[in-house]
């Protein structure tokens, strides 16, 4: 298998509300709308994130994002109205911390500290 790109998708019951929430989380407007039922962000060179209008599958995903400064992201998200729990240290790692919460439709979102 020669993988060129990775697409992560969240299925939304309320497409507009979910797109707006993820826009706050990611910190910017989506990069494209490849079809009316899809908002897509370029996260890194070959990783793409999508919110899909798909009410029959919402609330069933887990997305974990590793960020360079977890405390700064938690502060930025608080300013945007998104409550993120205090991070916990991950056993077996000297400095790795993790915070887990849910989006408005019950999908699990994790933020992992470190570059």
Tens of pLDDT, residues 42-68: 998 889 999 999 878 777 888 989 899
Number of domains within the chain = 1
Query: Global pTM?
Result: 0.82
Q: Could you tell me the two tokens for 68?
A: 């360079």
Across the range 110-115, mean pLDDT stands at: 82
Mean pLDDT of the chain: 91
Across the range 81-94, mean pLDDT stands at: 91
The CATH number for 65's domain is 3.10.180.10
DSSP H or E stretch at residue 20: helix 15-26
Percent of the chain with pLDDT strictly greater than 70: 98
Cα 79 to its chain centre, rounded Å, is 17
Question: Residue 115: pLDDT band by 50, 70, 90 thresholds?
Answer: low
Q: Is position 13 within any domain? A: yes
Q: Is position 1 within any domain? A: no
Q: Is position 70 within any domain? A: yes
DSSP 53-93: E-GGGTT--EEEEEES-HHHHHHHHHHTT---PPPEEPTT-
> Domain range for residue 87?
6-113
């Amino acid at each position: 298998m020669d993988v060129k790109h990775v697409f992560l998708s969240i299925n939304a019951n309320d497409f507009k509300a979910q797109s707006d929430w993820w826009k706050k989380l990611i910190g910017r407007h989506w990069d494209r709308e490849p079809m009316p039922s899809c908002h897509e962000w370029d996260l890194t060179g070959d990783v793409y994130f999508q919110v899909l209008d798909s009410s029959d599958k919402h609330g069933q995903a887990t997305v974990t994002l590793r960020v360079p400064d977890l405390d700064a992201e938690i502060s930025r998200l608080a300013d945007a109205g998104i409550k993120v729990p205090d991070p916990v240290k991950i056993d077996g790692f000297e400095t790795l911390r993790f915070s887990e919460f849910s989006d408005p439709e019950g999908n699990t979102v994790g933020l992992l500290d470190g570059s």
